[in-house]
């Protein structure tokens, strides 16, 4: 997507949402939904539209774990690290996932297929360990079933 | 003649393959020339049986589970649509003991109805509370909530009636109802389940709250980790609006109530009420000092009722069936029902809605069936990541707010996370600090920095580096965080840490 298209997509989102009370989070969600992340070039435009400083907008983006400022890989894999999943072996799963993908949390595989992130609770606490791949939740994930999931994504990192 | 078959569209059910099972059922029915009417209901909350499918037979609804795609052909071979015998057959759904032994008020309709059917909702008593509320004054509605004894179900357990009274008494040109659906505690999923199974109940409860205090706008703040719940809620709001249950003229009353669902963005601290309000206002989720209370100066500086999903949903039942009926359940100051959530290393995890008072042991053993692994239970964390760890011989506590507080534990939102004897309690204590590092809003030094130091101190203890001195230091650090933090994030992180050190000293090298 070229810079002009990015700018016009951002402008379109701002047009639609700027008048909402407390508009910034809905705007950031919509931009990330459309562009896959919140590009740095969007910040001045958002600031101008909402009469905020760029620092304020940057502060909001950086506060929330959900928003990313650079593109993610083709697929987002989130592994739950919270207590209920720990109780059924998520630490071992986490180690396996990192080893299998060859990356740490927050990174993307070299082939650009998978971005790995931690998540703290997906609300699947009776059927952990839990992993979310893009918008699909997976339950009772084991190292084996994770490998199967990965194979289905075509990821071979 | 078509037979109704229910397959949950709930997140957990789908994580276990419910979408694929639904597709296979439709496929098989078609290829056998059978007339199947598929309904995607919510989950009954008996998660170890998901995907749990139900068939509406002449004799009522019968259940099968856990069903996988591989089972579908044989189910049809055994006359599924007539409720045929099969190893996965569970009999009449509502006779399943786990369900039968509960007192379902919030979850009465979960799994029973199509969550996005106003007809189903009305038919099962929905909007009866709202109908009644429309005939009452705001004060009368508030009085009903006060009489019911309803306390906030998010975790702080503050009397809801007092909160609503404060908002009613505060004059303003605009007031708000805000629903806290940022259910971030590990081990909890009752809010998620309700949003996905019976969202209209929350909508009804919020509208009642609006009528009570004079608020014409409401927001539901749903955490971003619950995309399905957010989608179902949005669809329910649109339906309610279409049929006049929301909008400028609720049920033709001339009273307005507009509702909007908003998405969080992955910050646990936004489950704290003032941080949530900051987030709704488009800011960083920093915690606000109180006073002023949100009831007086809340969203956009206006008087705001901010309550948990279950608290607001309970208002619908209370108005429909009466405050006295509600307060007859439970005892002491813990009145009504609490949906407990059994999770972690548990055989039969799910939502168990009960009047307050049952023992935690009975919940874990009789409902939960003990650990999933079959290994001995070693620790239980109740009330989320900021709750104390209980040891195996402390489980005879009654599920009651005051009883838990007296044991320096926390009932909270009702999450019960079970650990077997493979748990390393020093590792759990370290995680409590680690989580605080990740989720601290950053405002208070004891929380922001204390948590970082807490991880370091625990690591030194685990490495047996000046263990005795570091254990003392950890104790003092916990005191600092508890007394020096503005909110429960830093203030209660010491709770799980202290409980781990005191009750499981052997894991800390003692």
Distance CA B470, CA A47 (A): 47
Q: Give residue B149's region: left, alpha or beta (phi > 0; psi -120 to 50).
A: left
| Closest residue of chain B to A61, computed from CA coordinates | B284
Q: What is the pLDDT of residue A109?
A: 97
Distance of residue A81 Cα from the nearest chain B Cα, in angstroms: 9
Average confidence (pLDDT) over B483-508: 98
Give the per-residue pLDDT at A94: 98
Length of chain B: 510
Select from B268, B343, B363 the residue whose CB has the most chain A CBs within 10 Å, as the one to mutate to test that interface. Answer: B343
Q: Are B100 and B63 in contact (CB under 8 A)?
A: no
Tell me the pLDDT tens digit for each residue of B156-185: 999 999 999 999 999 999 999 999 999 999
Closest Cα in chain A to B223: A122
Please name every residue paired with B391 in a beta bridge, in sequence order, or none if there are none: B379
- B1: confidence class by pLDDT, cuts 50, 70, 90: confident
pLDDT in tens, A70-107: 999 999 999 999 999 999 999 999 999 999 999 999 99
Which of A66, A130, A137 has the CB atom closest to B266's CB atom?
Answer: A66
Q: Which chain B residues are within 8 Å of A17, Cβ to Cβ?
A: none
Q: What does B38-76 look like in DSSP terms, one character per residue?
A: EE-----SBGGG-S-EEEEETTEEEEE-S--GGGHHHHH
pLDDT in tens, B235-289: 999 999 999 999 999 999 999 999 999 999 999 999 999 999 999 999 999 999 9
Summarize the confidence of residues B301-308 as an average pLDDT.
Answer: 98
Among the listed residues B442, B434, B505, the one whose alpha carbon sits nearest the alpha carbon of residue B475 = B505
pLDDT over 60 (residue A130): yes
Reported as type and span, the H/E element at residue B123 is helix B118-123
To the question of pTM greater than 0.90 for the whole model, the response is yes
Q: Tell me whether residues A22 and B47 touch, CB distance under 8 A.
A: no
Q: Which class for B34: exposed (0-12), middle (13-18), buried (19 or more C-beta within 10 A)?
A: middle
Residues of A with CB under 8 A from a CB of B: 21-26, 28-29, 50, 59-60, 63-67, 82-88, 119-128, 130, 132, 135-140
SS3 B169: helix
- Establish whether this prediction's ipTM goes over 0.90: yes
Q: What is the dihedral of CA B191, B195, B197, B200, to 10 degrees?
A: 130
Q: Which residue of A has its CA nearest to B281?
A: A22
> Binning pLDDT at 50, 70 and 90, where does residue A157 land?
very low
Cross-chain residue pair A126–B227, CB shorter than 8 Å: no
Judged against a pLDDT cut of 60, whether residue A155 lies above it is answered with no
What ranges in B298-394 are assigned the alpha helix state H?
A: 309-321, 323-327, 360-362
From chain A, the residues in CB contact with B500 under 8 A are: none
Each residue of A37-52: pLDDT tens digit?
999 999 999 999 999 9
Q: Do B15 and A59 touch (CB under 8 A)?
A: no
Cβ neighbors of B83 (< 8 A, separation 6 or more) are B55, B57, B59, B62, B89
User: H or E element: which one contains B141?
Assistant: helix B138-148
Structure confidence at residue B132 as a pLDDT band (50, 70, 90): very high
Phi and psi at A74, nearest 5°, equal: -60, -40
**Using the beta-carbon criterion (under 8 Å), do A128 and B16 form an inter-chain contact?**
no
């Amino acid at each position: 997507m070229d810079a002009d298209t990015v700018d016009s997509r951002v402008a379109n989102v701002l047009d639609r949402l700027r008048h909402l009370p407390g508009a910034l989070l809905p705007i950031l969600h919509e931009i990330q939904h459309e562009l896959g992340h919140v590009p740095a070039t969007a910040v001045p435009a958002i600031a101008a539209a909402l009469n905020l400083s760029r620092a304020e907008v940057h502060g909001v983006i950086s506060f929330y774990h959900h928003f990313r400022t650079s593109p993610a890989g083709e697929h987002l894999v989130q592994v739950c690290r919270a207590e209920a999943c720990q109780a059924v072996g998520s630490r071992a799963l986490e180690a396996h996932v990192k080893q299998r993908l060859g990356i740490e949390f927050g990174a993307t595989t070299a082939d650009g297929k998978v971005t790995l992130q931690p998540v703290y609770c997906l609300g699947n606490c009776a059927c952990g360990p839990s992993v979310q791949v893009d918008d699909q939740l997976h339950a009772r994930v084991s190292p084996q079933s994770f490998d199967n999931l990965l194979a289905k994504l075509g990821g071979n990192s | 003649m078509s037979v109704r078959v229910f397959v949950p569209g709930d997140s957990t059910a789908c994580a276990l393959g419910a979408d694929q099972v639904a597709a296979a059922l439709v496929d098989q029915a078609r290829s056998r020339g059978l007339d199947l009417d598929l309904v995607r209901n919510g989950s009954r909350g008996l998660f170890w049986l998901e995907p749990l499918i139900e068939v509406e037979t002449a004799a009522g609804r019968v259940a099968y589970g856990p069903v996988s795609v591989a089972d579908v052909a044989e189910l049809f071979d055994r006359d599924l649509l007539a409720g045929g015998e099969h190893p996965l057959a569970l009999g009449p759904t509502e006779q399943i003991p786990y369900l039968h032994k509960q007192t379902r008020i919030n979850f009465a309709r979960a799994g029973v109805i199509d969550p996005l059917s106003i007809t189903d909702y009305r038919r099962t008593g929905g909007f009866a509370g709202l109908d009644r509320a429309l005939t009452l004054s705001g004060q009368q509605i508030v009085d009903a909530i006060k009489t019911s004894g309803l306390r906030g179900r998010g975790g702080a357990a503050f009397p809801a009636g007092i909160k609503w009274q404060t908002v009613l008494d505060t004059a303003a040109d605009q007031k708000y109802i805000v629903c806290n659906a940022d259910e971030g505690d590990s081990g909890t999923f009752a809010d998620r389940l309700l949003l996905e199974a019976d969202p209209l109940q929350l909508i009804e409860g919020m509208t009642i709250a609006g009528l009570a205090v004079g608020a014409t706008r409401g927001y539901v703040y749903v955490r971003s980790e619950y995309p399905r719940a957010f989608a179902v809620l949005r669809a329910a709001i649109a339906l309610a609006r279409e049929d006049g249950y929301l909008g400028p003229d609720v049920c033709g009353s001339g009273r307005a109530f507009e509702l909007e669902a908003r998405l969080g963005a992955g910050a646990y601290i936004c489950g704290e009420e003032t941080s949530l309000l900051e987030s709704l206002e488009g800011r960083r989720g920093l915690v606000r000092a109180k006073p002023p209370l949100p009831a007086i100066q809340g969203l956009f500086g206006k008087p705001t009722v901010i309550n948990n999903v279950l608290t607001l949903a309970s208002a619908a039942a209370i108005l429909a069936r009466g405050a006295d009926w509600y307060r007859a359940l439970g005892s002491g100051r813990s009145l009504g029902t609490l949906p407990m959530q059994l999770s972690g290393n548990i055989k039969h995890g799910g939502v168990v809605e009960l009047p307050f008072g049952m023992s935690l042991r009975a919940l874990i053993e009789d409902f939960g069936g003990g650990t999933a692994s079959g290994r001995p239970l070693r620790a239980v964390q109740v009330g989320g990541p900021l709750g104390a760890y209980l040891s195996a011989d402390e489980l005879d506590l009654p599920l009651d707010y005051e009883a838990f507080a007296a044991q320096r534990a926390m009932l909270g939102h009702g999450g019960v996370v079970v650990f077997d004897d493979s748990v390393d309690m020093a590792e759990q204590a370290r995680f409590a600090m680690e989580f605080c590092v990740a989720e601290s809003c950053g405002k208070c030094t004891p929380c922001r920095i204390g948590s970082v130091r807490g991880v370091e101190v625990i690591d030194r203890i685990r490495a047996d580096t000046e263990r005795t001195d570091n254990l003392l230091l950890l104790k003092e650090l916990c005191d600092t965080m508890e007394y020096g933090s503005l909110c429960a994030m830093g203030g209660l992180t010491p709770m799980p840490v202290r409980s781990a050190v005191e009750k499981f000293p052997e894991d800390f090298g003692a």
